Amino acid sequence: MSEYLLVMLGAALVNNVVLAKFLGLCPFMGVSGKVESAAGLGLATALVLTIACTLASLADTHLLRPLQAPGLRTLVYILVIAVSVQATEMLLRRFSPLLFRVLGIYVPLITTNCAVLGVALLATQQDMDLPTAAWFGFSSAMGFMLVLVVFAALRERVVETAVPLALRGAPIALVSAGMMSLAFLGLRGFSGL
């Protein structure tokens, strides 16, 4: 049980996909204008990441390793991610049409989110078994969602403050992202993570 807790803390906070690995920066900057849309995309990405990590682990264990074809790993993972995104898109359209409309183009763009492919590849590189890979995917997604929502809340507050003209827009967003990254970097001091 403590192993899963360490995996979660490590994936979500210490080695956060966005702030430590610098993956998934496009949705991080693109969807972080409103907390609602950031939370929605975070949940959709959480579902995709968990499914994709699980299916990638299965594909690696039962297809790529027996065939001794590690060179096909990226191609197979991209196909797995595309299937996961399509399933998520259908679920959102069916069960949450409002969220589906709010997220719009961002749901299909999860397919090209390098964080999803990066997490699947990290799970394979670290030779995780199926439950650990699924948990790692979920934990990474929770970290992704946390950072997205916190950054969106930060950006909403910044809009209401008096920011110097030269820093308005993207510059203050990048400064805020850098400060968040430094704050998360401070968590690296915990041993075992």
- The count of other CB atoms within 10 Å of the CB of residue 178 is 11
pLDDT digits (tens, 9 = 90+) for 110-155: 877 888 899 999 998 898 999 999 999 999 999 999 999 999 998 8
Tokens of 40: 């929605």
pLDDT digits (tens, 9 = 90+) for 76-90: 999 999 988 888 888
Domain ranges of the chain: 2-189
Tokens of 46: 């959480």
The overall average pLDDT reported for the chain is 85
Which one, of 128, 129, 134, 151, lies nearest residue 28 by Cα?
151
pLDDT score of 193: 47
**3-state DSSP of 44-103:** HHHHHHHHHHHHHHHHHHHHHCCCCCHHHHHHHHHHHHHHHHHHHHHHHHHHCHHHHHHH
Distance CA 40, CA 83 (A): 19
pLDDT digits (tens, 9 = 90+) for 55-69: 999 999 999 999 999
Tokens of 123: 């799970």
